[in-house]
Amino acid sequence: MKIRNLIVGAEISGLVLAERIVNDLKEKVLIIHRRNDIGGNIYDYDKEGILSINMVPIFFTPIIKKYGII
């Protein structure tokens, strides 16, 4: 299998780029990601029966965790 497209990181941008390459260019993509989750720091949670999405930019994460916001 020949891969012409390598994407490092399965955060939102990497996933969108991979989707565009596969669907628009009809080419194969290999995504390399070091963490167990995909999508970066965007995740959903259930709050009182309502599914919400939390989007935390990675550069704010240490500050937010330090002050107990998330």
Report pLDDT for 67: 56
CA distances from 61 to 2, 22, 25, 50, 67 (A): 37, 31, 35, 24, 10
Report pLDDT for 8: 92
- For the chain, list residues with pLDDT below 70: 1, 41-44, 53-70
